[in-house]
């Protein structure tokens, strides 16, 4: 059983990302505001596949287009990220407004774009993973893994040297910079982690290994408790416990 003491430092933030367009390339940030709907400007835009409007998962993602990570979105007004228009640089260097039908046409017949001010998330608005977890899975598959396979908002270097330390944070409230988040559940992965973000090549052994060894879980999902600003270098502090139903056993003292 992992024992946490209130106000203990669990690690520090070593990288931050937002994804202006779902499944496209990440935008690396030095700092970001976090609202009830995740990082400002995160996953506000997404493309919908043709004929999938009524589907529970209509999004065009790396499952269908492994090269989507080569499309580089950016916000036109980064000081107002939730309200900002977006542009996308394609792999050939062309730049389109995200709403330009020519961009949707390049991505597939019948594809169209939508925007949601609350963000377009598969499960929850915040995702975290530790450097230790990525290294541990890499050791299992015998390869160095790019963090962008996992598309997190926060990359955290955990205190201590154990593998997969964020598992034990489920059920905790973490203070990071000026905000607090609740770690709600472990992140169950899909085939997207098999796609190399640089080459777009797929290695199915990565997901198979994770499924065999960890029921396909790596990293955690969270939700905002108190909005605020976060920055690379901020300490990650365990400040409270919550009533998350799927937390792993732990104690606070």
DSSP output for 35-57: ETTEETTTT-EEEE-TT-TTSSS
Same domain, 111 and 129: no
Percent of the chain exceeding pLDDT 70 equals: 92
Q: For residue 70, report the phi and psi dihedrals to the nearest 5 degrees.
A: -90, -5
- Would the pLDDT of 249 be above 70? no
The pLDDT confidence band at residue 56, using thresholds 50, 70 and 90, is confident
Give DSSP secondary structure letters for 121-136. -SS-SEEEEEHHHHHH
* Cα 76 to Cα 63: distance, rounded to the nearest angstrom: 28
Using an 8 Å Cβ cutoff, are 62 and 23 in contact? yes
Q: Do 102 and 127 have their domain in common?
A: no
Q: Strand 2-4 relative to strand 250-252: parallel, antiparallel, unpaired?
A: parallel
Domain-located, residue 33:
no
pLDDT at 51: 81
How would you classify the pairing of strands 172-176 and 38-39?
unpaired
45 shares its domain with 129: no
Residue 220 has pLDDT above 70, yes or no: yes
Bin 81: left if φ > 0, else alpha if -120 < ψ < 50, else beta: alpha
124, 219 contact by CB (below 8 A): no
**C-alpha–C-alpha distance, residues 229 and 130, integer Å:** 20
34 within some domain: no
165 and 94 within one domain:
no
pLDDT of residue 22: 96
At residue 240, the pLDDT reads: 77
Predicted confidence band at 124 (pLDDT cuts at 50, 70, 90)? very high
- The verdict on 109 and 232 lying in the same domain is no
Domain shared by 132 and 238, yes or no: yes
- Mean pLDDT for the stretch of residues 118-137: 96
8-25 average pLDDT score? 96
Per-residue pLDDT band for 242 (boundaries 50, 70, 90) equals low
The answer to whether residues 49 and 170 belong to one domain is: no
Distance in angstroms (rounded) separating the CA atoms of residues 125 and 38: 5
In this structure, what DSSP letter does residue 14 have?
Answer: E
Range 25-54 average pLDDT: 93
Same domain, 236 and 175: yes
- The tokens for 130 are 């530790």
Q: What is the dihedral of CA 252, 161, 191, 216, to 10 degrees?
A: -50
In a domain, residue 235? The reply is yes
pLDDT tens-place string over residues 167-203 = 999 999 999 999 999 999 999 999 999 999 999 999 9
Enter the pTM of the model.
0.90
| Pair (13, 57) in one structural domain | no
Tell me whether strands 112-115 and 95-97 are parallel, antiparallel or unpaired.
Answer: unpaired
Domain count, the chain: 2
In which domain, by residue range, is 209 found? Answer: 2-17+123-252
Residue 10 lies in a domain: yes
Q: What is the mean pLDDT of the chain?
A: 91
């Amino acid at each position: 059983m992992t024992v946490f003491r209130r106000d203990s430092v669990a690690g520090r933030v070593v990288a931050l990302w937002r994804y202006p367009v779902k499944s496209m390339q990440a935008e690396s940030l030095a700092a970001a505001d976090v609202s009830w709907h995740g990082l400002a400007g995160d996953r506000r835009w997404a493309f919908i596949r043709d004929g999938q409007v009524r589907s529970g998962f209509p999004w065009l993602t790396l499952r269908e287009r492994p090269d989507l990570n080569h499309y580089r979105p950016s916000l036109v007004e980064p000081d107002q990220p939730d309200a900002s228009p977006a542009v996308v640089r394609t792999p050939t260097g062309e730049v389109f407004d995200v709403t330009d039908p020519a961009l949707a046409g390049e991505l597939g017949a019948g594809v169209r774009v939508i925007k949601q001010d609350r963000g377009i998330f598969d499960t929850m608005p915040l995702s975290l993973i530790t450097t230790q977890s990525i290294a541990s899975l890499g050791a299992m598959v015998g390869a160095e893994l790019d963090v962008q396979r996992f598309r997190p908002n926060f990359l955290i270097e955990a205190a201590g040297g154990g593998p997969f330390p964020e598992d034990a944070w489920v059920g905790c409230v973490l203070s990071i910079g000026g905000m607090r988040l609740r770690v709600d559940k472990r992140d169950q992965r899909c085939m997207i982690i098999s796609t190399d973000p640089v080459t777009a090549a797929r290695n199915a052994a990565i997901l198979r290994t994770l499924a065999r060894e960890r029921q396909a879980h790596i990293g955690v999902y969270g939700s905002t408790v108190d909005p605020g600003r976060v920055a690379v270098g901020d300490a990650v502090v365990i400040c409270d416990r919550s009533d998350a139903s799927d937390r792993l056993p732990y104690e606070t003292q």
